[in-house]
Amino acid sequence: MTWSAVERRARTVPDGPVTRSGGDDGLLLRGLVTDSRRVVPGCLFACVRGAASDGHRWAGAAARAGAAALLADRPVDLALPTLSVPSVRARLGPLGALLAGDPADALDLVGVTGSNGKTTTSTLVGGVLEAGGTCTGVVGTLGARVGIRTRRTPLTTPEAPELHELLRWMVDAGARRAVVEASSIALDMGRIDGLRFGVAVFTGFEEDHLDHHGTIEHYWASKARLFERDRSAAAVVVVDDPWGRRLAEQAPVPVTRVGTSEDADVRVLGWRTGAAGTEVLLGDDTGGHRVSSPLVGRVHVTNLAAAWATGRALGVPADAIAAGLAATTPPRGRNTVLGGSGRPVVVVDYAHTPRALAAAVATARDLCGPGGRLHLVLGARGRRDRYKRQGLGESARAADVVWLTNEGSHGEDPAAIIGELRIGLLGGGAAVRTVPDRRAAIHAAVRAAGPADVVLVVGRGHETRLLDTTDPRDAVHLDDAEVATTALIVEHGPPTRAPAGEDELAS
């Protein structure tokens, strides 16, 4: 892309003057980069101000690595063509799109946001759209994929230049639709700027990420940005909590309401769930529909309903939606069920907020056999949302035995984190054990569990790296599902009988 084209796109952001210094109109730029370690010859290096580092300090390193020009919002003493702007971050989306060839123009986009359920709902919507006959990419917490191709991503929603590069990769692979998880932090920091979504999906809301947002209203406002008229054409909103109802009432775009209430456009009429999966009875303006999924747990009922509503909003036939939901493999670390067949059941889940934990505990309780007990392996992430810890302890009271452990202290004192969780458990009836080593805690819980029991391991889900310092290089490999699988074999041996059937229909 030419230097003059970059300048023209930069001027479309209405926040003040743009000044270009150096460089011919025809200077060719190859990509937009925000990390000096990823610079390739001929790229435009964006000097982004971050929480821990200022990209302007790394402009020299970028120049030495071959950057052809700079995007800056303060003076940089380098002999490189420079575009000086009021805010570098505000232009990452528009310029990232331009330098990737505006891939979103070739895609119908779906955005998914919410405190819990984004990854599962994004996966389900991707499956529905594929079943409808359209090659569909998905970008989110578990990485990016299109067809059988996958790429790792460091963030739920990548920085804007990386996100547009992924969309280009998807278009080149044949995708015509894409589903993007939109985190509140990404919305707050402009990572999805330059994108417009055909449908935006809201899965629910509770306090989270207040270490970044400061207040729950700021957190809410960040989520609500996805539903502004210039970002989305239509919305699918789960209205089973007050925040969802508020969004459905305030959104300036057409809204499909999803939930259990009588005024829902897509209404959950009944459901059942067990180790074999979940079945949901839905009602909409075309009548009743029964859908099945291998996903386990009541928490996924509204995720399935939201995916159904999104498919209908995008014109996918009902039978294709049902087929897509039935065929979609559960995302890793979202109520992943292990064991059974004469051994305890182990459930590995990402639940890391009080309400998500309460839902995970309820799901695990549903899977207990007659007289079975629920063992919960619980920790809390260091340097993140400290205010949630007592709430997690309160939700944990519903278990029979709680095994308090480390979840990655990130430089905090692990014993202090465990102490805060323990405060929330005060007054409850659960027996509490403290095993700081996470691997040992999972083994101890599995060892103590009987054939009718369930061991619920929460907090990390799909994650495979555990960090106890502030240096990412110190992270060690620890996959909760791997540890649990090993513990089942060591403590209880291989399976000996078939798994139990599904539970009764709930409504």
* Residues in the chain, total: 507
Radius of gyration over every alpha carbon of the chain, rounded to an integer in angstroms: 24
Rounded to whole angstroms, the maximal C-alpha distance in the chain is: 77
Q: Are 324 and 132 in contact (CB under 8 A)?
A: yes
CA separation for the pair 323, 227 (Å, rounded): 29
Q: Distance between terminal CA atoms of the chain?
A: 57
Reading the block at residue 214, the tokens are 């400061």
CA separation for the pair 446, 460 (Å, rounded): 17
Q: Are 20 and 29 in contact (CB under 8 A)?
A: no
CA separation for the pair 349, 480 (Å, rounded): 9
CA separation for the pair 254, 479 (Å, rounded): 42
Residue-by-residue DSSP string for 472-504: GGG-EE--HHHHHHHHHHHHH-S--SPPP----
Residue-by-residue DSSP string for 150-213: EE--SSSS--HHHHHHHHHHHHHTT-SEEEEE--HHHHHHTTTTT--BSEEEE----S--HHHH
Q: Are 164 and 138 in contact (CB under 8 A)?
A: no
CA angle 460/462/467 to nearest 5° reads 50
Q: Are 381 and 420 in contact (CB under 8 A)?
A: no
Please report the beta strands in 58-155, taking only residues with DSSP state E, as ranges in sequence order. 69-72, 82-84, 108-113, 136-140, 143-146, 149-151
Q: Are 112 and 180 in contact (CB under 8 A)?
A: yes
Reading the block at residue 429, the tokens are 């009836």
SS3 67: coil
CA separation for the pair 267, 36 (Å, rounded): 50
Which residues are annotated binding-site positions?
36, 156-157, 183, 191
Residue-by-residue DSSP string for 215-249: SHHHHHHHHHGGGSTTTBS-EEEE-SSHHHHHHHH
SS3 325: helix
Residue-by-residue DSSP string for 262-297: TT-SEEEEEEEEETTEEEEEEEETTEEEEEEES--S
- Residue 355 neighbours by CB under 8 Å, 6+ apart: 115, 116, 206, 395
For CA atoms 136, 336, 405, 362, the dihedral sign is: positive
